[in-house]
Structure 1
Amino acid sequence: MPRDDRHPSRRAFLDVTGGALAAGLITGCSSDSPQPDRPVPSTAATPKPVPAAGRHQAGVTLPRSAQRNLLALVADLGPEVAPGPLLAELGEAIRTLTAGSDPRLLGLSPGDLTVTVGVGPRLVRTAGAALPGATDLPRFSRERIASRARGGDLLLQICADDAPVVPVAAAALLAQAGDRVRERWRQSGRRGTDVSVAKGLTAPRNLLGFIDGIVGPHTTAEQERDLWLAGPPEVAGGTLAVLRRMELDLTRFAALSVAEQEAVFGRRRASGVPLSGGTPASAPELGAKTPDGRYLVPVDAHVRRANPTAVGVGHMLRRSYSTDEPAPGLLFISFQNDLRTFTATLTRMDTSDALLPFTTTTAGASFLILPGFDRQHPLGSTLFG
């Protein structure tokens, strides 16, 4: 049975956590290991906790540098399930999990755990057909998406630097939801080591070896303009998310020379600098040419085809997570306050982007990321209160 057509079992969860425990037991069996009653203090820096409450949900711009590990879990609500009470319960569970006071963490420290909740177009339409997020994501070329891997009612984006925290938090949230939700698909991913691209700005390398996520709304002013929804009041403080899981043809891409790979992206592989020059954070000079009249940034380079100014849209906050199961690839997530920012960009890329032939999209969905919440204003209460 295809992966997207079955639900993760309790055994699958126990296999994961049991494997982690077994690994810990194996590494603790050397003759130099400490005695069980003499624990060794950890020398690793403990990630700073990220508050769950606030104007915006955590996990989008907080923490500033995204955590290493992510699980995107997409589910449907039962036909008779009221979204409001379910979301309020999930919000309270998120608060206790991130605070470290939930026994379902099994003694793990939550560290920088964040859980970001979104609702799909079907649920948004029940609150208002004209609201942002009510429109389904259109279909694009180079897609091979099974019906269960397209769309969904509920998104749980769970992130943490400490890998075991992620599936444990997911199990707690699914237990909280119970039989009110039915899982559609899930995808785990990891981010590479961050590379400094400008003062106060870092980005990781993707599975193709290039620095990913350099361009985006990084300042507060840019985020207010292009990222956060200003209204209507039901969604103010939220944003729109697009998820796309893609398989990558690593073998064919690796067969290219470094110069050919750089022409696909329009950037230097080692540094991230645009082929037109400057620094990694410099905007590519799309009109710059060689003395013989060739564009320094090729006409089909990814940075040209996806350039916000050329497309005529705002910036999207982009995150890419490397995956190796069900196939080597990446999970692409973008956040923006207008779905057209994504759809117009991908439509332009569809016509001639040198990167797309190396990709096949196998899952896709869009969600309204709900506004922030606190104890007085439960998660989802502005939309489903």
Structure 2
Amino acid sequence: MRRADRHPSRRALLDATGAMVAVGLTAGCESHSARPDRRDAPVSATPVPPTGRHQAGVTLPQPAQHNLLAVVADVGADVAVGPLLAELGQAVARLTAGTDARLMGLPPGDLTVTIGVGPRLVRTAGPALPGAADLPRFSRERIAPQARGGDLLIQICASDALVLPVAAAALADRAGDRIRERWRQSGRRGANVPVAEGLSAPRNLLGFVDGIVGPNTTAEQQRDLWLTGPAPVAGGTIAVLRRMELDLTRFATLSVADQEAVVGRHRATGVPLSGGTAASDPDLGAKTPDGRYLIPADAHVRRAHSNVIGVGLMLRRSYSTDEPAPGLLFTSFQNDLRTFTKTLTHMDSSDALLGFTTTTASATFLILPGFDRRRPLGATLFP
């Protein structure tokens, strides 16, 4: 891979990635100390099968791994996409099995690699296919040209943060000069907080439990998450990637009560301001005795509520970041891009939380259907 802004050689990238392994991790993947603490990883050593109807790294494992590295790249205009994806799928299988020598002896543990293709590539397979539409622009964006859009998403997750740059280097080596990196972002999830039986969610940099609501049951995932057709995309999903800076300093000046009014949940527990448990659906009609809404009109949970907007549920996954600025890498998975675009459009008008965010990167990708030995990655779209 080569970065679009500085154009180093692929060898330079591999050398730089190896240096990250030698001296430490990027800030977004670090522990709270300045240097990686091996006692903090791996949290889980249970392998996650990379093959099946769906790619790993969306609903599996559960809960999601603590560390992520997302790489967004472009594919050369003359590159045969089918063979490229098939080779990447083979590399993923070897990396997750621990048989790739480029792991340099590191056990993969619960490593997952999830690969998606951007709208330009999807349109070459079929202009009407899900995933062919570009993501529109929204307010509160400060996005450089190279940080908007892209042809290829490689999402790498693991409990052991050291595995991430090593896996990225191996995949870069396999892709060679056929792809050119646009940007990358590492991130880390906070400790998981139980919100219901079998369901947990992490805290974000604002101190709130993040990602409670989503398609958590099999029925909800079939309805709102996975694509069921057309045949070339069945088993895939649509991902939206948004990197956001958070104004932590200004948010911290608010009282806890005011912070909770911005979000619509209690900070300590994740419980909606309308009451119940963290997993309870917010009661948007609940009022105080003097007639004020318990969940303010501009609270995030009200403005983003799927029933209010009339859309399906998004599987939302956020990773806190430290570089290039404190913030988060927000990813949502849904089977209809309009679920995201309608939600953000509704939030854009008067969501109190958005006033503390600035989006600095944005893209959407079709997460390819699952693969196996007989059906290479991407074969249904790019035979």
TM above 0.5, yes or no, is yes
**1:75 alignment partner in structure 2:** 73
Q: For the residues of structure 1 that align with 2:196 and 2:303, how far apart are their CA atoms?
A: 23
The gaps in structure 2 that reach 5 residues or longer are 26-34
User: After superposition, where does 1:41-120 map in structure 2 within 5 Å?
Assistant: 46-120=44-118
Of 132, 150, 162, 2:130 maps to 132
Tell me how far 1:44 sits from its aligned partner: 6.8
1:365 maps to 2:363: yes
Q: Distance in 2 between matches of 1:212 and 1:97?
A: 30
Structure 1 residue 46, shift from structure 2 partner: 4.7
Equivalence map 1:1-385=2 (5 Å): 5-6=5-6, 9-20=13-24, 46-385=44-383
Partners of 1:99 and 1:61 in 2: how far apart?
A: 19
Of structures 1 and 2, the larger Rg is shown by 1
Aligned to 2:31: none
Q: 3-state DSSP class of the match of 1:76?
A: strand
Counterparts of 2:204 and 2:159 in 1: how far apart (Å)? 17
C-alpha distance 291-240 of structure 1, shift in aligned 2 (>3 A)? same
How many residue pairs get aligned? The number is 366
Take 2:57 and 2:148, find their aligned partners in 1: how far apart are those partners? 23
Using the alignment, how far apart are the partners of 2:80 and 2:104 within structure 1?
Answer: 30
Contact 1:77 1:154 survives alignment (8 Å): yes
**Runs (4+) off by over 4 Å:** 42-46
In terms of mean alpha carbon deviation, does 323-332 or 45-54 score higher? 45-54
Given that residues 43 and 159 in structure 2 are in contact (C-alpha distance below 8 angstroms), is that contact kept between their aligned partners in structure 1?
A: no
Given that 2:117 and 2:365 are in contact with CA atoms closer than 8 Å, whether structure 1 keeps it comes out as: yes
Consecutive unaligned residues in structure 1, runs of 5 or more: 22-26, 28-41
Shift of 1:82: 1.1
Identity of matched residues, %: 75
| Shift of residue 20, structure 1, vs aligned partner | 3.7
Per-residue deviation, residues 29-78 of structure 1 (Å, max 9, x unmatched) = xxxxxxxxxxxxx9976520000000000000000110000001000001
The question of whether the paired residues in 1 share the 8 Å contact of 2:75 and 2:152 is answered with yes
Please give the secondary structure, in 2, of the residue aligned with 1:377: coil
| Distance 1:277-1:45 versus aligned 2 partners, 3 A rule | closer
Q: Is the 8 A contact 2:14 2:169 kept in 1?
A: no
Q: Return the alpha-carbon distance in structure 2 between the equivalents of residues 352 and 43 of structure 1.
A: 40
What SS class does the counterpart of residue 382 from structure 1 fall into? Answer: coil
Secondary structure of the residue that 1:326 maps to in structure 2?
coil
For the aligned residue pairs, the C-alpha RMSD in angstroms reads: 1.8
Specify the SS of the correspondent of 2:381: helix
1:281 match: secondary structure? coil
Distance 1:11 1:173 in 2: 14
CA distance in 2, matches of 1:326, 1:7: 19
Instruction: Write the letter of the residue equivalent to 1:56.
Output: H
SS in 1 for 2:281: coil
Tell me, in whole angstroms, the C-alpha distance in 2 between the residues paired with 1:118 and 1:253: 34
| In 2: Cα distance, 1:54 partner to 1:369 partner | 14
Distance 1:308 1:45 in 2: 33
Q: Write out per-residue CA displacement over residues 322-378 of structure 1, whole angstroms, 9 at most, x where no aligned residue.
A: 000000000000000000000000000000000001000000000000000000000
Secondary structure, counterpart of 1:334 in structure 2: strand
> Is this contact kept in 2: 1:111–1:161, CA < 8 A?
yes
Answer whether contact 1:4 1:146 (CA < 8 A) is retained.
no
SS across alignment from 1:16: helix
Q: CA deviation at 1:264?
A: 0.3
Counterpart of 2:131, as a letter, is: G
Distance in 1 (alpha carbons) for counterparts of 2:63 and 2:21: 27
Q: Deviations over 1:69-108 (max 9, x none)?
A: 0001000001100110000000000000000011010000
Q: Contact 1:121–1:133 at 8 Å: present in 2 too?
A: yes
SS in 2 for 1:18: helix
For the 8 Å contact 1:4–1:149, the answer to whether it is kept is no
Query: Structure 1 residues 221, 253: CA separation in 2 closer, same or farther (over 3 Å shift)?
Result: same
Aligned equivalents of 1:326, 1:308: Cα separation in 2:
31
